[in-house]
Structure 1
């Protein structure tokens, strides 16, 4: 997996299992299932999906039963149709059932992000525009959610506040204007490109004159986006953002912007329908 270098999968699995198992463990399975009972199951799709987080799901089962046998049939970044079997597990029944919900919750959430992301990517296919994610993520899950967005075909925008300069409307308001905000950012010599948000065409030239390396065109109607693309004429990359939906993204891409950022692919993606189905062998 191409997870970020600073993401600790072992720690993530530990924290999630501690949240679900508590201090007493899976009391239901322990009370009803023999300690040596075996469990064989398929993880199956119940809708078409983009796969993201399958290896992470496997890590939960391996944590509770290191001897579990796993046959993984698909990998992250691949598509799966209805009734597709993603993997088969054979292991200790108590351990498999205790890990099931943590594994499914994680996998369903990440595949939901990848699946919605792919729908947006497909909607702008052929336009030349690139889909970006945002920092609108669930606290603590950003590395995984941005990973899922990559699996769906998007590119990652900033991971954190320290890896990119993005001057937003409130920065502009405090500084007294777009040009002054950009001037201060350039003078800080961070070594990073300076991107600034503009919401009116008349802000574009002052931003460029002050040295902006990239513009974020925020909540602009289509005719203003076209005006902005013509005005900039390729001098810096342009990113459109704000209220983008599956119904509107194609028209936005066709204005000629280079990037389109969509917060809802991480913020509002529904979990996909995946089940762990017991097999009688």
Structure 2
């Protein structure tokens, strides 16, 4: 996994280049020595996330920018809450504004959505897990946001774990053959998980020594049967993960079947940005 600070620098550089290009034409209307202050307010209840990305956008254009926060990543804030105050060189603040807000709105949205699911299964043994269904180039950022919302990260990419899905099983010659090959090649510290689509496939995976099983698109009744089967044969030795068509309306019922994890792609791919407002004013005093 790439270092978070390195990833933030990369994300911010790409965002600013994309937005500013050869130069911010509109910001050039403002005198170069003018300073401004601004505040950011959340217009809705949310879980804050993206503080480091937000700050990095302004600092990349002017190292003299100062940001004073009234909340931190992972905090739940109410509609109308002032998140931060900013002061700095006017052109830098205006040029970085959109990119900074894009990161803060998007990552807060992921954290907020994750928190909804985490709260929905509170009191069960299950945890909420993310997937690789992330926005291209922003996987580490979005997985960080999932953690801020109380969720758990699955593998970060194809390099840090083996997840044997339907097409891998077909290509490898079956569940047993795929698991045996995976057991030969898994790196130290890596994990092996296999996807099954029926109780019959689950039984084959258990017989072949699976330690992590992804129960794909099982009904609630099938999930309960799968948990009973796995516990009867292996105790608590096999980790069971439910996936497919998870919503806030059904996720608690899924958790109550006894599965260990529930993976949800919509945490990172179906995102509605949190509504944030950034308002500027003249500089009056230091923070």
TM-score (norm 1): 0.94
Checking the alignment, whether the CA contact within 8 Å between 1:111 and 1:271 is kept in structure 2 is yes
CA deviation profile, 1:38-94 (whole Å, cap 9, x unmatched) = 211111100011011012101111221211222111111111111111110111111
Q: 1:5 to 1:172 in 2, by over 3 A?
A: same
Q: 1:16 to 1:208 in 2, by over 3 A?
A: same
Q: CA deviation at 1:140?
A: 0.8
Q: Secondary structure at the match of 2:245?
A: coil
1:114 aligns with 2:116: no
Checking the alignment, whether the CA contact within 8 Å between 1:4 and 1:143 is kept in structure 2 is no
Q: Aligned residue for 2:227?
A: 229
Q: Aligned residue for 1:220?
A: 218
After superposition, the CA RMSD in angstroms is: 1.5
Q: 1:21 to 1:189 in 2, by over 3 A?
A: closer
Q: Secondary structure at the match of 1:240?
A: strand
Q: Aligned residue for 2:277?
A: 275
Q: Aligned residue for 1:18?
A: 17
Q: 2:45 aligns with which of 45, 48, 54?
A: 48
Q: Aligned residue for 2:25?
A: 27
Q: CA deviation at 1:132?
A: 0.3
* Structure 2: runs of 5+ lacking an equivalent: none
Checking the alignment, whether the CA contact within 8 Å between 2:143 and 2:153 is kept in structure 1 is yes
Checking the alignment, whether the CA contact within 8 Å between 2:114 and 2:150 is kept in structure 1 is yes
Q: Aligned residue for 2:85?
A: 88
1:142 aligns with 2:139: yes
Greater alpha carbon shift after TM alignment, 271-280 vs 214-223: 271-280
CA deviation profile, 1:149-174 (whole Å, cap 9, x unmatched) = 11111100010101111110111112
Aligned length: 277
Greater alpha carbon shift after TM alignment, 66-75 vs 156-165: 66-75
Checking the alignment, whether the CA contact within 8 Å between 1:7 and 1:143 is kept in structure 2 is no
Q: 1:68 to 1:34 in 2, by over 3 A?
A: same
Q: 1:84 to 1:184 in 2, by over 3 A?
A: same
Q: 1:6 to 1:81 in 2, by over 3 A?
A: closer
Q: Aligned residue for 2:120?
A: 123
Q: CA deviation at 1:257?
A: 0.2
Residues 73-84 of structure 1 aligned to structure 2 (within 5 Å): 73-84=70-81
Q: Aligned residue for 2:260?
A: 258
Q: Aligned residue for 2:63?
A: 66
Q: CA deviation at 1:11?
A: 2.8
Checking the alignment, whether the CA contact within 8 Å between 1:40 and 1:90 is kept in structure 2 is yes
Q: CA deviation at 1:189?
A: 4.6
- Partners of 1:43 and 1:5 lie apart in 2 by 24
Checking the alignment, whether the CA contact within 8 Å between 1:132 and 1:262 is kept in structure 2 is yes
Q: 1:120 to 1:189 in 2, by over 3 A?
A: closer
TM-score (norm 2): 0.93
Q: CA deviation at 1:5?
A: 4.6
Q: Secondary structure at the match of 1:27?
A: coil
CA deviation profile, 1:111-132 (whole Å, cap 9, x unmatched) = 1100101000000000110100
